[in-house]
């Protein structure tokens, strides 16, 4: 019966000798091999860096788009609220003024829906990792919590259309609340 230790040693020596021969063959190739290989490795590194920077830029652009939608909706809410203030300030509004107030109230509710849709879109993109998550939290964490608490009827399950906001609120706000 052959000694397995010696067989393993012989096999190891044979493999290392073969590897050494193959490495020697690479050295014989010279600059015709190493220069293209170096260029290829450099191109791969540049491509990887470009992909990384493009992803980062896309995340920033997506976050900026969300910010624009939120800001536009907030501006509309402010504008309608200012228009409503003059009618609300009257002690005895006429029937026409009451109808005007009702219409402006509907416009205000629509603007609030637009704002919540913008936040919902942002939360959806947050979970899909299409935005820088830390920046999103820094910008919108408090606002989302405020709206969920201010309008609980809009976020009651299972009928809510703001699933991403509810998911964000339940995942992040409740556990970070003091």
Range of the domain at 120: 4-176
Mark the ranges of the chain whose per-residue pLDDT is less than 70: 1-5, 20, 22-33, 174-178
Contacts for 145 with CB less than 8 Å, ≥ 6 apart: 169, 173, 177
119 Cβ neighbours under 8 A, 6+ residues apart:
70, 140, 143, 144, 147, 162, 165
Give the pLDDT of residue 178: 43
pTM: 0.70
Query: What is the predicted pLDDT for the residue at 95?
Result: 87
Cα-based angle 55, 69, 151 (whole degrees, multiple of 5)? 115
Rg (CA), the chain: 32
Per-residue model confidence (pLDDT) at position 2: 53
Q: How many domains does the chain have?
A: 1
* pLDDT score, position 64: 94
Residue 54: phi, psi to the nearest 5? -65, -40
């Amino acid at each position: 019966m052959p000694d397995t230790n010696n067989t393993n040693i012989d096999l190891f020596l044979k493999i290392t000798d073969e590897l050494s021969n193959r490495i020697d063959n690479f050295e014989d190739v010279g600059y015709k091999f190493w220069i293209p290989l170096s260029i290829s490795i450099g191109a791969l590194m540049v491509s990887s860096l470009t992909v990384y920077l493009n992803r980062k830029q896309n995340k920033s652009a997506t976050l900026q788009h969300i910010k624009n939608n939120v800001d536009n909706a907030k501006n509309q809410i402010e504008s309608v609220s200012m228009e409503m203030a003059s009618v609300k300030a009257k002690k005895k509004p006429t029937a026409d003024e009451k109808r005007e107030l009702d219409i402006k109230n509907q416009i205000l509710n629509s603007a609030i829906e637009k704002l919540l849709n913008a936040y919902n879109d942002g939360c959806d993109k947050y979970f899909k990792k299409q935005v820088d998550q830390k920046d999103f939290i820094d910008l919108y964490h408090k606002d989302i919590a405020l709206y969920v608490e201010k309008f609980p009827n809009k976020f009651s399950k299972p009928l809510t259309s703001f699933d991403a906001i509810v998911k964000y609120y339940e995942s992040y706000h409740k556990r970070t609340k003091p």
